[in-house]
A = this chain, B = another copy of it.
Amino acid sequence: MPETPRRTHRLPGSRYGNRPTMKDVAARAGVGLKTVSRVVNGEPGVTPETERRVQEAIEALGFRRNDSARVLRKGRTASVGLVLEDLADPFYGPLSRAVEEVARAHGALLINGSSAEDAEREQELVLALCARRVDGLVVIPAGDDHRYLEPELRAGVATVFVDRPAGRIDADVVVSDNYGGARDGVAHLIAHGHRRIGFIGDMPGIHTASERLRGYRAAMEDAGIPVEDSWMSLGVTDPGRVRRATEEMLSRPDPVTAVFTGNNRVTVTVIRVLSERSRPVALVGFDDIELADLLRPGLTVVAQDSAALGRTAAERLFRQLDGDPLAPERIELPTKLITRGSGELPPAD
């Protein structure tokens, strides 16, 4: 940000002024600076009467200890940075809240930002957080090369990757069983008689997208069904792209009779497209969605436990910070198939 003057806020009945310092407190209380410092930091050697005078001056002036200064003295900040992909994606809501709850239980503040699925922005944000001396980082990575973090890791910044693994460094990782979950979801469609099954997913460079595609391929191969290229579409999750991909698969001479969607952003658009068509098409989505049970048919999903991902990652982070001599580990959480109707529709032909 450019150098701009701070605005002094107009308050009824208050003087304009700058932040009071320990020196102001000392002057008002009629004591030395060292005495104020003792009171502020809870150190011994101050009589109750003097402490009372200092406390009164602190309240009268609205003095507050500058924690940034304490950070520098102690080399720690009691804060955790969380870098996620999109603050507005509902998948990250319960994950963020879980990380915050664990941080809070450890007396730490959560600092939060999003990469917008841009590796450069992820790196910029992570390094900005490190420069602010966060104690630890929970990162949902956008990029696939995290060697830029090596100096920070060496300097002792605790780090856990969540949802997607770290690239080219050795670090703790907490992920869902994306491969197994997708394989189960597609096998479920096959068990209901489908053979021409479409897969519509996120960009192939994203780990979760490629793992879920791998699960789709495995289920098809297990059932001896050769996959046609036109059944698979990976790309950005914006509604326009997903709509075109869905309509293409459904408009072919030999249309797919079922669709497996790679994440919640894709699913909401596919539901919308299918709802406009008269011929029923089966659907299983990766990720649960609010109100999925109230759609007609209800939406069958492979659900991740987004809160458990956040909680597990944050707990692991604080074990690192507590000095537990842990070797970097990959923790995989199971997914759950929830059947509600859309995944149990038979093939229309």
Complex contact B15–A154 (CB within 8 A): yes
Determine whether A251 belongs to the interface, using a CB cutoff of 8 Å to chain B: no
Contact with B along A168-179 (1 / 0, CB 8 A): 011100000000
Q: How many copies does the complex hold?
A: 2
Partner of A78, one of B1, B67, B291: B1
What residues of chain B lie closer than 8 Å to A65, measured between beta carbons? 131
CA distance A188 to B162 in the complex (A): 46
Determine whether A51 belongs to the interface, using a CB cutoff of 8 Å to chain B: no
Complex contact A87–B96 (CB within 8 A): yes
Contact with B along A71-85 (1 / 0, CB 8 A): 110011111000000
What residues of chain B lie closer than 8 Å to A47, measured between beta carbons? none
What residues of chain B lie closer than 8 Å to A107, measured between beta carbons? 1-2
What residues of chain B lie closer than 8 Å to A333, measured between beta carbons? none
For A99, give the chain B residue with the smallest CB separation.
B87
What residues of chain B lie closer than 8 Å to A135, measured between beta carbons? 1, 6
Complex contact B113–A151 (CB within 8 A): no
Complex contact A6–B68 (CB within 8 A): no
What residues of chain B lie closer than 8 Å to A277, measured between beta carbons? none
Partner of A7, one of B61, B106, B125, B321: B321
What residues of chain B lie closer than 8 Å to A49, measured between beta carbons? none
Complex contact B323–A4 (CB within 8 A): yes
- A298, chain B: closest CB distance, angstroms: 11
- A140, chain B: closest CB distance, angstroms: 14
Contact with B along A142-184 (1 / 0, CB 8 A): 0000000011111111110000000001110000000000000
For A59, give the chain B residue with the smallest CB separation.
B151
What residues of chain B lie closer than 8 Å to A75, measured between beta carbons? 6
CA distance A323 to B4 in the complex (A): 7
Complex contact A294–B321 (CB within 8 A): no
Partner of A131, one of B2, B67, B114: B67
Q: Besides the contacts A66-B133, A68-B131, what 10 more A-B pairs have beta carbons closer than 8 Å?
A: A1-B78, A9-B153, A11-B170, A14-B150, A65-B131, A66-B131, A88-B97, A93-B93, A97-B114, A295-B295
Determine whether A39 belongs to the interface, using a CB cutoff of 8 Å to chain B: no
A1-25 contacts to B, CB under 8 A, are 1-2, 4-12, 14-20
What residues of chain B lie closer than 8 Å to A79, measured between beta carbons? 132
- List, sorted by A's number, 18 A–B pairs whose CB atoms are closer than 8 Å: A1-B78, A1-B106, A6-B135, A7-B156, A9-B154, A11-B170, A14-B154, A15-B154, A17-B154, A18-B155, A66-B72, A68-B71, A68-B132, A90-B290, A100-B114, A110-B113, A268-B291, A275-B294
